């Protein structure tokens, strides 16, 4: 394996919130640390401002059990990551939480965090000396006691030079609100964007990248080894199409030279049964109380690779079932009965990971 890039500190961040009642919100900060960088502190500071002039800071404490290793390495190599003083690239996930009182009559609140420093990157030449910034916006009067969208996908994916990348942020909304996705500038502060290199921008963070604004699906074929900073913003809308909040994830894609061939996408839905109507290769339409079952069949051109499938479908579609059959090909069977409270446009993801070494695909 060649082309791995050294790191400074933080590789990714996102913030979410959950309403606990009476204008109190539990705020969660997720930080993703490159293990070749400096250690994480036990607390983080959250800056809170409102549209009616309020401003204060809250100390967030590290949640017990934080610092779990999430390195994209095969099982036999995992103990040799630089999280364990080895030589392979390692990543850890840290979680911080605090309860915040967002008092009326203020409606618009911004919860923000910043720290130093980022990893080096191809698309932002000065990133290794720049701060990393993230925020969310919460509308507590327009949408009382609303919960934010939540990211569930692998935040720091290693992808292969010259091979197509099909990535999902794995976002779901606990309240079933409608979601919309956009790429935005990486920032060092609330109003200070990073300076991108020639040919790159917040909206085009990787050459040839596309983002589906409704599902959050990301597609590109990388043509240069290195880290790429990518920032996505997710807007949530209520049933009246009012904007009621935003979240974002600042993350990196790491492009490496691979001898492995990544798993292939299914050509489309297979073995559909039930009441749903198929409207595209990967899309269905159905009504309340309708039910369906479908298969998604994943293959890998490396005949000895074993595929492991995972999905956030149980979070996106309450009550859905997910079963894997086989390993290469590997079939995901998903069944669901439509229940009230689900978003009118609900996008779930299914991930196929092989067991290639040292870096899985």
Q: Give the pLDDT confidence of 7-26 residue by residue, as tens digits.
A: 457 999 999 999 999 999 99
In angstroms, the CA 151 to CA 198 distance is 30
pLDDT at 104: 87
DSSP secondary-structure letter at 91? E
pLDDT value for 7: 40
**H or E element that contains 287:** none
- Other Cβ atoms closer than 10 A to 87: 12
8-state DSSP, 2: B
Distance between CA atoms of 340 and 354, rounded to whole angstroms? 36
Burial grade of 282 (CB within 10 A; 0-12, 13-18, 19 or more): middle
Q: How confident is the model at residue 37 (pLDDT cuts 50, 70, 90)?
A: confident
Burial of 121 (0-12, 13-18, 19+ CB in 10 A): buried
Judge whether residue 108 has pLDDT over 90: yes
What mean pLDDT is predicted for residues 104-118? 94
- Confidence check: pLDDT of 324 > 80: yes
**According to the model, what pLDDT value does residue 8 have?**
53
Mean pLDDT over 280-304 rounds to: 96
* pLDDT surpasses 80 at 141: yes
Task: Work out the widest C-alpha separation in the chain, in whole angstroms.
Answer: 61
Query: How far apart are alpha carbons 67 and 95 in whole angstroms?
Result: 8
Model pTM? 0.93
pLDDT at 225 over 80: yes
Is residue 289 predicted with pLDDT exceeding 60? Answer: yes
First to last CA, the chain: 13
CB 207 within 8 A of CB 230: no
Angle (CA) 308-353-253 rounded to 5° is 155
pLDDT tops 80 at residue 105: yes
**pLDDT value of position 3:** 38
């Amino acid at each position: 394996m060649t082309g791995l890039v050294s790191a400074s500190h933080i590789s990714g961040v996102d913030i979410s919130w959950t309403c606990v009642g009476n204008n109190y919100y539990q705020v969660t900060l997720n930080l993703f640390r490159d293990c070749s960088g400096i250690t994480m502190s036990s607390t983080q500071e959250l800056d809170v401002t409102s549209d009616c002039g309020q401003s204060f800071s809250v100390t967030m404490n590290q949640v017990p059990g934080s610092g779990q290793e999430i390195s994209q390495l095969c099982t036999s190599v995992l103990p040799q990551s630089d999280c364990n003083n080895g030589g392979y690239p390692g990543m850890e996930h840290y979680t911080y939480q605090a309860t915040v009182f967002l008092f009326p009559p203020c409606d618009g609140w911004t919860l923000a965090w910043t720290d130093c420093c980022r990893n080096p990157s191809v698309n932002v030449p000065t990133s290794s000396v720049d701060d990393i910034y993230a925020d969310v916006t919460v509308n507590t009067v327009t949408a009382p006691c609303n919960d934010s969208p939540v990211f569930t996908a692998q935040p720091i994916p290693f992808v292969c030079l010259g091979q197509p990348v099909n990535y999902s942020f794995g976002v779901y909304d606990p309240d079933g609100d409608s979601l919309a996705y956009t790429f935005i500038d990486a920032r060092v502060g609330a109003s200070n964007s990073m300076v991108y290199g020639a040919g790159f921008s917040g909206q085009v963070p990787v050459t040839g990248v596309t983002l589906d604004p409704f599902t959050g699906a990301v597609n590109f074929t990388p043509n240069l080894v290195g880290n790429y900073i990518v920032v996505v913003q997710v807007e949530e809308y209520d049933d009246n199409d009012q904007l009621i909040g935003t979240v974002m994830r600042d993350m990196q894609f790491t492009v490496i030279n691979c001898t492995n061939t990544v798993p292939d996408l299914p050509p489309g839905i297979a073995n559909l049964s039930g009441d749903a109507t198929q409207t595209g290769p990967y899309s269905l339409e159905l009504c309340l109380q309708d039910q369906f079952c479908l298969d998604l069949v994943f293959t890998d051109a490396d005949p000895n690779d074993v595929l492991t499938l995972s999905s956030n479908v149980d979070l996106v579609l309450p009550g859905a079932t997910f079963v894997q059959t086989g390993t290469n090909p590997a079939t995901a069977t998903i069944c669901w009965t439509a229940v009230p409270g689900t978003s009118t446009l609900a996008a779930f993801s299914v991930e196929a990971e092989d067991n290639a070494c040292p870096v899985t695909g």
